[in-house]
Amino acid sequence: MGKPERRDFYSFARIVSLFLGICGLSVLSLSLYWRVVVPAEPHMSMHFSPVYKEFVLSGRWSGSVPEPNDGQRYWREDGYPLGREQYRAALPFLYVRDLVKWDAFPETIAGLAVSPFDAEQSWQFMRLFSEDWNAPPPMLHMFIESKPHGARLQKPDDFFRVSSSGNGIEFLTPREGKVDSLKSSSFTRALRAAGFVFPVMELGGNPDVRKRYDAGYFIADSKGFLFQMQMVDGQPSCRRLQPQISGKIRYIAVNEHHREEFFGFVATDDALYAIMQKERRLKQLPIGKFDADALRLAIWSDILYTSVFIESPGMPGSGIEGIAMTPDFKVVRRYVQAQDSDYAGSMRRLDTIASFLFPLQIVSGIPGSSFRDMRAGPGGDLSAVLAGSVFALVAFIRVTRSGFRKSVRPWSDYVFVAVFGFVAIAMILIEDADQHVRVLHNS
């Protein structure tokens, strides 16, 4: 007769289709929820002041009392408010031109005589985001001649890549669509001669011909050593930098600057190294451990201090941590500015509501990455997750056992409601309504 088999197939097909529908509705509903209810995150920035020898901060004002600075407020570590001109006077390297225009540029900064021109030329700034390395690496790299014939750097006619095995460097000529075997073997041999142990683990460079000079590429080998590889008069020039790096290298950021203080930085899972230019060495910055999977890191350096500012987007409410150091990386001050209390409280309440409404949450994005990555897990407030599951299950039982909807439900429906909460109830009721419409249409 085949009827039991047909019923089994229908039950299985219903479970699968209902599961997929609930997952899709859960993703859309949760995304819509956060788009509608999440408040604007208050912007906040931090700098180390060589005048006060402490951190000064600025941010958008979210209170009801109007601020005199068009909604922007400025303050010191202890919360003491600053005016706009006071704030800029506290950062003479950053606001040189404003202070000169106001005839307020100091004769000395922290006891050091500095001219406005030298002050403006003596600082550099870099940002490192986890989005930089939580992404597929580029397949091709542009290798600039470090010693050009003219006064400007020129774009090369070829590109290079790491071989598919990771055991060599390959140069490709786009016009011919071929691998330049001679040049490839020349640079690979030069790396080996400098002590490089293949395969290549990570590499970084800055292929911008607008820069003043070229430092080449920095390449990490399988032993944790960093090598500088340049092309000088068309020939390879390779050297190994000390010391050896411990931990997995996540990113190598290179930015040649006219200060010639450091070439860039190397980020590992929990440490940050500066590639010192004059010493041709690596120096680990004493900033403590961090989560490289979700990180926003800014580095400011001038002739007096180097400052690092760390934000952790994967840890709501963490705020900003600032570490100020001398040029030889000795810590002189640490300060943590907590996130705005009103904003943090609102986010906690909204997360509790989301955990109640969506016990199992399917998200398509994660902090620290710009790529879509579907993940499922419980809400952030586990007590609200449990309460939401129980409440949804009780409500579903009451609805299905009362009035015209009174019926015997499959066990899978109760499982879906217990796991997905109210989203599952909505999807099941939609499925029931569709089934009733089909029955009425067929009759």
Domain stop point among 282, 301, 320: 301
Maximum Cα–Cα distance across the chain = 100
The total domain count for the chain is: 3
**CA 376 centroid distance within chain:** 21
Question: Does the pLDDT at position 404 exceed 70?
Answer: no
Residues 184 and 246 reside in one and the same domain? yes
pTM of the entire structure?
Answer: 0.82
Is residue 315 domain-resident?
no
Neighbours of 32 (CB within 10 A): 10
Most confidently modeled of 21-35, 178-192, 288-302?
A: 178-192
Query: CA-CA distance, 151 to 118, in Å (whole number)?
Result: 24
| 308 located within any domain | no
Whether 436 shows a pLDDT value over 80: the answer reads no
- Please indicate, yes or no, whether residues 182 and 97 belong to a single structural domain of this protein: no
222 pLDDT higher than 50: yes
Please check the confidence at residue 126 and state whether its pLDDT lies above 70: yes
Question: 345 in a domain, yes or no?
Answer: no
* Among candidate residues 70, 96, 121, the one where a domain is terminated: 121
- Mean pLDDT score of the chain: 89
Domain identity same for 49 and 134: no
Range of the structural domain that residue 229 is part of: 124-301
Q: Are both 106 and 34 inside the same structural domain?
A: no
Would you state the pLDDT for residue 212? 93
Average pLDDT value for residue range 94-118: 95
Q: Are residues 56 and 110 in the same domain?
A: yes
More confident: 101 or 313: 101
Question: Is 100 a member of any domain?
Answer: yes
52 shares a domain with 154: no
Same domain for 93 and 129, yes or no, is no
Question: How confident is residue 221, by pLDDT bands cut at 50, 70 and 90?
Answer: very high
Average pLDDT over residues 188-199: 96
What is the mean pLDDT of the segment spanning 118-126? 94
Give the strand pairing for 202-205 and 320-325.
unpaired
CA distance 205 to 263: 10
User: 117 with 128, same domain?
Assistant: no
Regarding whether 281 and 413 lie in a shared domain, the answer is: no
What mean pLDDT comes out for the span 336-352? 86
**DSSP state, 154?**
-
Instruction: Please give the radius of gyration of the chain, using alpha carbons only, rounded to the nearest integer.
Output: 30
Burial of residue 173 (number of CB atoms within 10 Å: 0-12, 13-18, 19+) = middle
Q: Residue 98 falls within a domain, yes or no?
A: yes
Can you give the pLDDT at residue 1? 45
> Do residues 133 and 115 both lie within one domain?
no
290 and 142 both lie in a single domain: yes
In a domain, 291, yes or no: yes
Task: Check pLDDT > 70 for residue 6.
Answer: no
Q: Quickly state the pLDDT bin for 340 (edges 50, 70, 90).
A: confident
Least confident of 8-12, 80-84, 130-134, 414-418: 8-12
Asked if residue 29 is part of any domain, the answer here is yes
Q: Are 230 and 206 in contact (CB under 8 A)?
A: no
Whether 383 maps to a domain, the answer reads yes
- 63-77, 212-226, 320-334: the lowest-pLDDT one: 63-77
Rounded Cα distance, 231 and 236, in Å: 5
Tokens of 441: 């249409």
pLDDT band at 145 (very low <50, low <70, confident <90, very high): very high
Q: Using CA atoms, how far apart are residues 385 and 392, in angstroms rounded to an integer?
A: 11
For residue range 7-63, what is the model confidence (pLDDT) as tens digits? 777 788 888 889 999 999 999 999 899 999 888 777 889 999 999 999 999 987 555
Question: Pick from 133, 200, 129: which is nearest to 160 by CA?
Answer: 200
- Assess whether pLDDT exceeds 60 at residue 65: no
How far lies 190's CA from each of 126, 177, 236, 271, 374, in Å?
Answer: 31, 24, 6, 29, 43
The answer to whether 301 and 123 have CB atoms below 8 angstroms apart is yes
Determine the pLDDT at residue 354.
Answer: 94
User: What pLDDT was estimated at residue 415?
Assistant: 92
Last residue in a domain, options 121, 148, 169:
121
- 28, 51: one domain: no
| Residue 5's pLDDT band (cuts 50, 70, 90) | low
Quick: pLDDT tens for 297-328.
999 999 999 999 999 876 666 789 999 999 99
- 240 strand-pairing partners: 227
